[in-house]
Amino acid sequence: MAAPVVTLRVGGRGCTPAWLGEFGTANAAADLYSTTPGSQGQWFTDLENFVQSSYNRTATNDPGVALTSIQWTYWAINANDSGNAILGSDWASLANPDKIFTHLCSIERRSA
């Protein structure tokens, strides 16, 4: 399977492929929802909005550059990284279902 690619057109001067790989945040509520400038929550929300803008641009999430269909990967899935992981310590449950169902599922798209 080929790596997913983002096409960015900046200033009308051609296209540049890019791939958003291995972003993530911790599992505490503040790491998902804080709006304090410079916080994990603010960073994670901005990243979500950036990805979402490639599928459905709105005034709220417009990054100011033309981009389409961003593909991404999340770090970390493994339970060994308990502070950031998708999986719980038993490797069968989710460490924070809210992070998955509210945040990551909202930006997941099927590859073309």
Query: What is the per-residue pLDDT across 20-46, written as a single tens digit (0 to 9) for each?
Result: 777 888 889 899 989 899 898 988 888
- % of the chain with per-residue pLDDT over 90: 7
Segment among 1-10, 23-32, 54-63 with least mean pLDDT? 1-10
pTM, two decimal places: 0.71
Element (H, E) at 17: strand 15-18
* pLDDT for residue 50 is more than 50: yes
- Look at residue 13 and tell me whether its pLDDT is greater than 80: no
Candidates 43, 11, 10; CA nearest to 26 is 43
pLDDT at position 5 is: 46
- Ranges of each domain in the chain: 6-21+41-107
